[in-house]
Chains A and B, each alone.
Chain A
Amino acid sequence: MSTNKVIHAIYNDDDILMDAVKATRAAHHHIEEVYTPFPVHGLDKAMGLAPTRIAIASFIYGCIGLTFAANLLNYIMIVDWPQDIGGKPSFAFYQNMPAFIPVMFELTVFFAAHLMVITFYLRSKLWPFKQAENPDVRTTDDHFLMEVALHGNEEDMVSFFKNTGAVEVKVIDKH
């Protein structure tokens, strides 16, 4: 069957790509992926991708960092060994809190930033020595490639994408 066949439509302008994406969605063809050399503003909306939730994740990581820092400082400075260092009151957490705020702030930012980046790598499946998934080397330079699942008549689909302004339309057997 033709289920593992895809069409690679290649464009050389992001405006044409955007129009093609809209036309493809309107014609109810399923877009598997779009490869671009740089971020195309509004492409995610045109493709109908769900908005990212990475900011929410980052907020939660920041809260974890804040909790971690507060407990760390409370345990070390107040609970474990509350010694008098230069007359700073170490009888309760709130009494010495101004001195802890810089650390609490930095650890909040540290957790929020780093864990968010790691989350991004995990969700995007990025790591060193990862095999690049590039269907056409030109897409990292100056070409835009839309990959569409092939259903129904191959001739019709190829001519459809030719009409969307593609400079090249290929049918690929994907394994």
Chain B
Amino acid sequence: MYTFSNKLKTFAFVLMALGLLGLAYGFLTAPKTTEDVEKILAESHHDGHHAAAPAHGEADPAVAEIAHEAAKGEKVSDTVVAAHEEASVEKAADSTTAHAAVAPADEAHHDDAHHGAEAEAHAAHQKHLEHVLHQLQNKPWAALYVACIFFLLISVGVLAFYAIQWAAQAGWSPALFRVMEGITAYLLPGSVIFFILLVLSGMHMNHLFAWMGEGVTDPASPNYDAIIDGKSGFLNVPFFLIRALVFLGGWNLYRYFSRRNSLAQDNASDDSFYKKNFKMAAGFLAFFIVTESISSWDWVMSVDPHWYSTLFGWYVFASFVVSAVTVIAFVTLYLKSKGLLEYVNTSHIHDLAKYMFGFSIFWTYLWFSQFMLMWYSNIPEEVTYFVTRIENYKLPFFGMVVMNFVLPILILINTDFKRLTWIVVMAGIIILTGHYIDFFNMIMPATVGDQWFIGAAEIGALMFFLGLFIFVVFSALTKAPLLAKRNPLIEESKHFHY
């Protein structure tokens, strides 16, 4: 039996406390009014809003212009870039507040935007301030959301990996089942917090989801957005919350029953619990593949309600499953270093490292397929997703490809390296950081746009959920012996050698 070491428990509580402080700081320093925003912008010498006045009018031409200029190989002018940021982020986050400014600003643009029609320019400037205000108010919420979904999906990924091991009747992994069950214990608290966050979004506590905005589906409203209105059959708050409840509920039910059967198998006199778990795992995987896809549209893709991608569900899955396998390897290595996993040898670690390696490449394959197809066809409707990311998130966007692909492939390609604890830990830290940045890249551009920063709120949220994760996972590990006793495959797993 494992006993939760006091040091680790204290560490988890310190992480949670510091994380809460960081989050509180983030929420308290978020601007309340447009005057605050003006001050912040003046301080940061942000020059984008000078170009904002003519920008509103040329929402879509701006996209075409960027593509056109890029094709000519000229440097894209600051004005056009700013105009484009405005246009696309405005559409996504503010749901076409631009419409109000379109007519006057358009005329102003034709005359001469910089000199004529000062009154319209001022109105547009106010619009811009309001837009930045929304982005800055979103910042702590988005930080919380990214960290919350990241840790939730890690436990979901472990659950999916665990179900695959059952359904495939893998002979190497039963020695690690209790570790995986311990990690999936985070699923319940994680999904409760996550669901509360979704409900708060639905109650208009934040602007994370543009399609939840007021008046977006009302043709009489200045916020009306015909595209979002067209999707409102799917994207409406009650249906969204019901879906979330069904998905999270289904996953938690599988987790609860498979854990219960797995423990019951320890003291059983036959293999009936094993057979039940085998069937349940197969059923869960069928349920999971459908719900995972839909939940990734709901929780991740819908922050960009004007954009869609067909392989998005797989892409999100690849991202969290590689993080999940890495976390399994981390917890295994930690428990093994304490001498608690007698039968886990370097061959088990080698297998986990192979999965980390393979899923890293799988993630890259999907990342590149999604990026390259849109880059190649360059249809303005789809490509704005990547244009905003490359313009405003250049380092995180390309940095994560290095962290999630280049470094893992070079570090983990060697067979001997995959057996060395420090190499696996090093590669794992790179992979987990890289996939946090991946989720950051998926959520932030649509919610905070170019106002992103990895500061107190982001790091605080990450620390809070890491602390909670450690606390829940290691508490759960104390509740059962670390070796599944009567699993029919446990003998094979104990002597697993590669």
Q: Which residues of B contact A95 (CB under 8 A)?
A: 70, 73
CB pair A91 B372 closer than 8 Å? no
- The reply to whether B413 and A98 form a contact with Cβ atoms under 8 Å apart is no
Proximity bits, A78-107, B CB within 8 Å = 1, else 0: 000000100111010001001101000000
Complex: chain A residue closest to B68, CB-CB: A87
**Are A87 and B372 interface neighbours, CB within 8 A?**
no
Residues 58-90 of A, flagged 1 when their CB comes within 8 A of B and 0 if not, give 010000000000000000000000001001110
Residue among B67, B71, B371 with the highest chain A CB neighbour number at 10 A: B71
Contact B413 A84 (CB under 8 A): no
Cβ contact within 8 Å between B73 and A98: no
* Residues of B close to A84: CB separation below 8 A: 71
Q: How many interface residues does chain B have, given as a range? A: 10 to 19
Residues of A within 8 A of B375 (CB): 98
Q: How far is the CB of A67 from chain B (nearest CB, A)?
A: 16
- A: contact size bracket: 10 to 19
- B70 lies within 8 A of A101 (CB): no
Which A129-146 residues have C-beta < 8 A from chain B? none
Instruction: List B361-407 residues whose CB lies under 8 Å from chain A.
Output: 368, 371-372, 375-376, 378
Q: Which residues of B contact A98 (CB under 8 A)?
A: 368, 371-372, 375-376
Contact B378 A87 (CB under 8 A): yes
- A87 near B71: Cβ-Cβ < 8 Å: yes
Q: A98-B375, A99-B376 are in contact. Are A59 and B413 (CB under 8 A)?
A: yes
A73: min CB distance to chain B, Å: 15
**Structural contact, A101 and B71, CB atoms closer than 8 A:** no
Q: How many Å from the CB of A53 to the closest CB on chain B?
A: 12
* CA–CA, A98 and B375, complex, Å: 8
Give A55's nearest chain B residue, CB to CB: B415
Cβ of B178 to closest chain A Cβ, rounded Å: 30
Residues of A near B73 (CB, < 8 A) are 89, 91, 95
A127 vs B89: C-alpha distance when bound (angstroms): 63
The minimal Cβ–Cβ distance linking A30 to chain B, given in whole angstroms, is 29
Chain B contact residues, CB within 8 Å of chain A: 67, 70-71, 73, 368, 371-372, 375-376, 378, 413, 415
Q: Which 4 A-B pairs have the closest CB atoms?
A: A91-B73, A98-B372, A87-B71, A98-B375
Residues of chain A at the chain B interface (Cβ within 8 Å): 55, 59, 84, 87-89, 91, 95, 98-99, 101
Name 22 interchain pairs, CB-CB below 8 A, sorted by A.
A55-B415, A59-B413, A84-B71, A87-B67, A87-B71, A87-B378, A88-B71, A89-B70, A89-B71, A89-B73, A91-B73, A95-B70, A95-B73, A98-B368, A98-B371, A98-B372, A98-B375, A98-B376, A99-B372, A99-B376, A101-B368, A101-B372
